[in-house]
A and B are shown apart, each in its own frame.
Chain A
Amino acid sequence: MHILVCVKQVPDTTEIKMDPITNTMDRSSATTIINPYDAHAVEEAVKIIKQYGGKVSIISMGPPKAEEVIKKCIETGADEGYLLSDRVFAGSDTLSTSYIIAMGIKKIMEIEPIDLVFCGKQAIDGDTAQVGPGIACRLGIPQLTYVEAIETFDLKKNVVVLHRKIDNGYEVVQSKLPCLITVEKDINELSFSPLTNMIKAARFTPVTWGFNDLSGDLIHLGLKGSPTCVRRIFPPKQRAGGELLKGSEDEVVKMLVDKLKGGIRKWQI
């Protein structure tokens, strides 16, 4: 089985500092990491390959520095890595990004067929969850998003049965292969990488493809190929502050209870 995992290098949004005047991200303050959901996708792919045999390839789009996240995936146990990197890709929105990644995947498929494409459910910088469905759509394969468990593979029938999270529960879905799966963190626990993988990763260089290596059309790329654009950025609206209750602990507790008890009585019913 050949599993391809799409990964993204993202700024660690829990560490981001914003410049309050320009409303831009202070890039020097942000460390980059593998998108946490993608890490679980790689883990799952490696786990499946251990059971069913085959290999795991990684694809990422980004600046040359994004090579770091591909190396990280090699540590986890991936076998191959492809980086799509070109200045003309910059400024792509989700529609354009799915176009570029789908082109890369099609090129890999010419080298060797792919049975499964994995993605994280969304990236923590954009939080759109749109690129996964976009890629599936462009490849013409089923999309199975928000997957929290894979039940079985039936390689004879060429199907997978899995659990897809829905609001208020999950659905059990069967899909033909190849298909694209986006994963929730619940799907597995990340494990520690064995030392041999770390050594392999240190020496690893991914295959890098630019626009000229792919058979695409420039009008679908970057800013030109992106229907959406950011009109304005602004700080989130702050709620107006309220009242600081002052006094001894017993006094403030009494003050609070007096203020709230009427409301609570109403809301309970």
Chain B
Amino acid sequence: MRIVIYGALALLATILQMGLVPHVLVLGQGPTLVVVVVVAVGLLYGPTEGVWAGGVAGALTDLLLGGPWGLATLAYMAVGYVSGRFAWARGRVRAAAALVLSAAAAAAVRAVGIVALRAGGGHVWLPGLVPGPEGLVYTAVLTPFLIAVLDGRVGPSRRAAQTHET
């Protein structure tokens, strides 16, 4: 079931990335919505869910790109896992932490994208998937808002805390 949910979320993020983001650019840069989704899920629901979300979102990205498979999947799984571990370690999610983590995740995905470009030759990432500095900030700012939407608020995550306690 969660594959379907995360798949739908990743699909929605991808569609918005391709359709909406080019219309809401700031200084010519847009956010990386897939990163926003994976980080938000990881922070809210823990590392396992983060890995699932990252895996589904990465697989979808790999599928759409038509280039080498596996690298985006691995990258997003790592992002989801680290986000989930971060939530576990802290027990609660704050907006500032979400900002920093999502910016770091977007930068990591950018680095992986560069690697893929060099390794794959002709591998093309989705528009906005390899953001510049402004795109990193944009991505970071959006993450707390998605967390608020998914969880109903920005701040301590009850679900992550409960998962941590169990």
Chain A complexes with chain B: no
Residues of A within 8 A of B (CB): none
